[in-house]
Each structure stands twice: as C-alpha cells, then as structure tokens.
Amino acid sequence: MAQSVVYADLKFAMAPPLTSPTCHAAPDEDDSPYENMPPAPVPVAPSPGRRPRHWRVAVRLLAASLLLLVATVVALGTCYWQVTHSLQDASREHAAERGRLSQEVRAREQSLEQMRLELAWAMAELQRAWREGNSSRQELGNLNVKLGHTRQELAVLQEEMQEVQGELRASKSTVSSLRACVNTDCCPSGWVLYRGKCLFISMSRKTWWESRHDCRMKSAQLLVQGNWPTWTLPQFLVMSDEAYWIGAQFSSDSKRTVVWQDSKQFYPPNHSTECGMSADGNIESSKCVRKYQWICEQPPMLSSPSKTSLSFLDKD
C-alpha cells in the first residue's frame, strides 16, 4: 500500500546573542516553520507491527518545538538579565545624578546663604554710612554756624585793631612831648606824671577835709579812680607803710559803697563820716577826722595831639 510522503521545511529561530541589549519580538508569520506543509492526507491504517511514517514526523516536530521553546526561554532569560542589568545601571546612574544634583543644591544653598549674609552686611554698612553722612552734615552745619560767628568776631576784632592802630599812630606823635613833659613844665614843680595824671604826694598829715581843701587851693582835687580800670598807684607808694587820703567817701547804708569825690553825692563833715584812703595799694575806710598824708591830682599841660592820646595812655 502506497504511503504519502510529507515534506516539511523546518525553520528554527536563532536565539539573540547574549550581548544584545534588546529582546526580539515573536517571529513573523512568514518565518513559521510550518509554512510549506500542505494539508496531510487522511492517514492509512498502518500495517500491524510497524509505526507509521507520519508518527516519526510528529515526534520530530515535537522535538523541534521543544528545542524552539528552550531557545525562546534562553532568549527571554538573556533579555531579562540584560534588562535587569540595564535597570541597575540606570538606577546607579540615577543615584549618582541625584547625589550630584543634591551636592549642587547644597552648594547653591550655601552660596545663597553667603550672598544673604553679604547683603545683610552691605545693608548694615549702608545704614551706618547714611547715619555718618547725616552726622557729618549736621556737624558741617554747626561748623558753618560757628564759622559765621567767628567771622563776625573777627570783623569786630579787626575794627578794634584798626582803632588801636589809629590810637598807636596818634600816640607816636606825642611820645616826644610826653618825654619832654617829665623834664619840663607839663606838671607843676614837685608833681609826678603817672598814668596821664599829675600827682602831688604830701609830706604832712591833715584830716580828709583839710586835705581836700589843700588840693582845691592847688587847682586840683583828691585822687579819684576816674577812668582807671583798676585802682593802681605808683609802686613806691604801694610799697610804703604810709596811708594817703584819696577823693572817696563811704556811704552810710549797710552796703558801704565807695562814693568818689567827683560824683554828685557828697557827705558833709561830721565825726561819724568815713572817708577813703589808700593803704598798701588798697582802698580802705577810716574816720575823716583822722590825719593822714594825701594825694592830689590834676591833668597835665599837654598840646592838642597829646590830649587826644591821653585817654589811651590812661589804659596802660
């Protein structure tokens, strides 16, 4: 009995190489190992004691299928290993990248913190400079005010200096006449020129009213302070132990003020009145009835230029 022969072209898919990073998809229909297999005819019952031929073909097909299944499992395992390895590499790269980004973020945060501190310091310095600037402007204003006052005082001093210079120039013209006055008749004979006044110092002693009368007989008056800034006498009178009547009386009130003879107020003679005397260069009070030496004064006989500078010489 004739048997049908079945020819089958088996095509086995090759497993992808182990180094390949990707997995292939399922084989296309064109690559099917059963593409050239025509439909098998109805098998004829085999003869007893002998296996049919198509049985062997089926066994071969089963072996090929198992081989294909093993290759597919190996390929899938290789693909799984590659994918796992790739995922691990990606995870490590991701961790490294995340660490690098974390370091950059920390570095940026530190830089921002440093910039914030520098900005705070700059603002503090700016405020301090602003306060110092305000203080400097206030000090400058005060200095300008002081400078204005100083300029005014300087102008006043310049005017006073000009007046003094004018008085000095006027006094130069009278130096010769004043020198001549000491040796000639500017003051009466026996009188002394002192601070613009001709002074007469008595040798006898009298009461204050008698001394005053004697000075009037000489066309003079008892010595008064007048325009002297302080009470001063020649040094030889200060150093002497004598007391000299001067043209002063003391008021009877509790203040006991000095009343000079050239003023309008004058106390009539009585035993209780106290008059002024000069002792050791000081003005003291004493009973007018007591007897002391006295000092008369009168202006010197000067020319007109000399008289204009006499007030200036009295200030020396």
Residues 209, 268: contact at Cβ < 8 Å? no
pLDDT (tens digit per residue) in 5-62: 444 444 444 444 444 445 544 444 455 444 455 555 545 555 555 557 778 888 888 8
Q: What is the pLDDT of residue 225?
A: 84
Both structure tokens of 305 = 């230029």
Residues 223, 246: contact at Cβ < 8 Å? yes
Tell me which long-range contacts 250-258 makes (C-beta under 8 A, separation of at least 24).
250/274, 250/275, 250/276, 250/285, 256/285, 258/283
- Number of other CB atoms surrounding residue 309 within 10 Å: 22
Helix (H, G, I), strand (E, B) or coil at 30: helix
Residues 202, 295: contact at Cβ < 8 Å? yes
Q: What is the pLDDT of residue 8?
A: 44
Q: Name residues of the chain where pLDDT drops below 50.
A: 1-21, 24-29, 32-35, 42, 173-174, 176-177, 180, 183, 304-316
Q: What is the pLDDT of residue 46?
A: 53
Q: What is the pLDDT of residue 136?
A: 86
Q: What is the pLDDT of residue 306?
A: 47
**CATH class of the domain whose range is 189-301+309-314:** alpha beta
Q: What is the pLDDT of residue 163?
A: 85
By DSSP bridging, strand 243-250 and strand 274-279 are antiparallel
